[in-house]
Amino acid sequence: MRVVNRSARFNYQLFERIECGVELTGGEAKSVRAGHVKLEGAHVRIHNGEAILLNCQIFPYEYASGESKPDRTRRLLLHKKEIQALEQKMKTGRLTLVPTAVYTKGPKVKVEIALARGKRK
């Protein structure tokens, strides 16, 4: 299943795309496989050397036990050097990180993020 952030292409000029993993619970992973994800308004921040996905809504899997918040922050799985390179590009080029797609690759859930610059209105 592939969920695409259509508003990212409309609101931003996209440059470099990077594939990364995301830290999820079991119920969230099943929910992503079912396509219950909303990426509109989501963005990525780098805080304390970690890439964090904000405002991405993964709705709870109906058969999972326990409660999960749909819009909680999730850690993106990138190497330290990749995070440092992205942070440097963001500072020098006045760019931001935007998630463009969430998809499964075998048993794993991947997030595609892109360096982007906001379009002027």
How far, in Å, CA of 23 to CA of 74, rounded?
Answer: 6
Model confidence band, residue 1 (pLDDT cutoffs 50, 70, 90): confident
Greatest CA separation for the chain: 46
* The token pair that represents 38 in the structure block: 């909303």
Q: Is the pLDDT of residue 68 over 80?
A: no
The per-residue pLDDT for 65 is 78
* The token pair that represents 18 in the structure block: 């990077």
Task: Note the pLDDT tens digit of each residue in 33-43.
Answer: 999 999 999 99
Give the DSSP letter of residue 59: P
Q: No. of H helices and E strands in the chain?
A: 3, 9
Q: Which of 63, 46, 24, 36 is nearest to 113 (CA)?
A: 46
Model confidence band, residue 21 (pLDDT cutoffs 50, 70, 90): very high
Task: Note the pLDDT tens digit of each residue in 87-107.
Answer: 999 999 889 999 999 999 999
Please give the domain boundaries of the chain with CATH numbers for all domains: 2-116 (2.40.280.10)
